[in-house]
Amino acid sequence: MKLNTKRVCLVGTAFFLICAFWQAYDAIIPITLKNKFGYSETQSGFVMALDNIFAIFLLPLFGAISDKSRSRFGKRTPFIVIGTICAIVSFVALTVVDNAKIAALQAGEQRVYLSALFIGALLCSLLSMAVFRSPAVALMPDVVVKPLRSRANAIINLMGAVGGILVLGLGILFGTGKQENVTMSYTGYVLAVCGLMFAALLVFVFTVKEPKWNREMLQAQALLEDTPEPEEMVGDRKLTRSQLVSLILILSSVVLWFFGYNAVTSKFSSYSTSVLGMDFNSTLMIAQAAAIVSYIPVGFVASKLGRKKTILIGIGFLFTAFLGGAFLREHSPVWLLYLLFVFAGIGWATINVNSFPMVVELSAGGNIGKYTGYYYTASMAAQIATPVACGFLMDYTGKMEVLFPYAAFFVACSFVTMLFVRHGDAQEKKI
């Protein structure tokens, strides 16, 4: 049985453009809210949490709607096409309002209504992304047989990471991370990002044959299930007390490490320009590159040591990165910042690759979707709360320097909860 890598890469163009959008969004929106519209860190944190609030309600909704959708283009493709086009239009509209605000500031005017227009365009962007994020993620298992989905998912994640890195490169090219450019116009940058997204969409539309590939997958899956494994025949089962405790501990760990990691990703663009006085794009690009390089080695290590031990090692890397980051200031060596973010990239890749399979390992064959919901509810809830909580702490103390100690604390807590997990650590089966 061989994975069709080319086919998975083409399907992954949808995830590529999703990650491209979010990389650009997370980079410029916090700076825009703070430096042009006068939002506090708490207010900015709330706005940055809106996409996760939307996700909790809308991702399951549009995922279920796409499950029932029927068209000659497939179940997922129409959502991906329409959602991407709407997201591009909304993102460009954000820059139009942003430019109007820049003109108002230069004229010494406030024009409060522009803030409402900006938030309106922002909400349209978030809604557009919510329309197709679940269908895009669901497309991979629609066209890949069950035994090959883990390997396919690694390729999908790599595609997303490449999208993020390319956008970080555009950020460096347009100077979005430079301290002196915090009030610049982002029109050129956003148009370049949207052009990248549209190019990926064109590749997707003209190469991905969803209905045909889905039929082929179903035929291949039917052949495989002539001799199904016992677990695949189980519709549901009750967890033992020990398994339930492990599930709760794993989900608690997910909440805690997302509390730490997402605080940094949502605040680092502001932190970098305000505290470090350096371009955040190159730093984040290095972290992304480290994560990409780590995916395959991390899988190898997990197959030898097991998922739990590998995750604990990843937590150690992430904690080291955030603890070291707490001591960096404007005149700190750039190479040290880069080294710490290499640690962060390796640590996050290690955690991310292995944590979701641990949750699914506790499910029965017929309720994987329910356990997937548990995982994303935990991660999204953390991503909603932490930008607001971290922003409030910054406002309360009057210091942005609390960012990395805050992140390091929650990552350390996740090590403790993960340490007591006793189930979900089965190694991957060889095909």
CATH number, domain containing residue 368: 1.20.1250.20
Domains contained in the chain, number: 2
Same domain, 133 and 271: no
Q: Specify the pLDDT at position 430.
A: 46
Final residue of a domain: which of 169, 196, 227?
A: 227
Share of the chain above pLDDT 70, in %: 89
Query: Lowest-confidence range among 79-83, 167-171, 189-193, 407-411?
Result: 167-171
Same domain, 216 and 315: no
Q: Of 114, 414, 45, give the one whose Cα is nearest residue 265.
A: 45
Same domain, 56 and 162: yes
Q: Specify the pLDDT at position 431.
A: 43
Same domain, 161 and 253: no
pTM value is 0.73
- The parent domain of residue 30 ranges over 1-227
Identify whether 426 is part of a domain: no
Identify whether 64 is part of a domain: yes
* Number of residues written out for the chain: 431
Identify whether 270 is part of a domain: yes
Same domain, 165 and 303: no
Same domain, 338 and 298: yes
| pLDDT tens track for 353-396 | 788 778 767 765 445 546 766 787 888 889 888 888 998 999 89
Average pLDDT over residues 149-168: 82
Same domain, 325 and 180: no
Identify whether 233 is part of a domain: no
Same domain, 223 and 313: no
Q: Specify the pLDDT at position 141.
A: 76
Final residue of a domain: which of 204, 227, 250?
A: 227
Cα–Cα dist 418/137, whole Å: 27
Identify whether 429 is part of a domain: no
Identify whether 427 is part of a domain: no
Reply yes or no on whether the pLDDT at 427 is more than 90.
Answer: no
Cα–Cα dist 385/33, whole Å: 18
Q: Specify the pLDDT at position 402.
A: 92
Average pLDDT over residues 203-228: 85
Same domain, 370 and 327: yes
Average pLDDT, the chain: 84
Query: Lowest-confidence range among 8-12, 173-177, 372-376?
Result: 372-376
Identify whether 112 is part of a domain: yes
Q: Specify the pLDDT at position 234.
A: 44
Reply yes or no on whether the pLDDT at 307 is more than 50.
Answer: yes
Same domain, 126 and 179: yes
Amino acid symbol at 197: M
Final residue of a domain: which of 205, 227, 249?
A: 227
Q: Is 207 helix (H, G, I), strand (E, B) or coil?
A: helix
Same domain, 174 and 146: yes
Same domain, 70 and 131: yes
Q: Specify the pLDDT at position 83.
A: 96
| pLDDT tens track for 219-274 | 887 887 665 544 434 445 678 889 899 999 999 999 999 999 989 987 887 788 78
Identify whether 431 is part of a domain: no
Q: Specify the pLDDT at position 226.
A: 67
Token pair in block for residue 21: 């959008």
Contact 96, 114 (CB under 8 A): no
Cα–Cα dist 257/409, whole Å: 9
Q: Specify the pLDDT at position 95.
A: 92
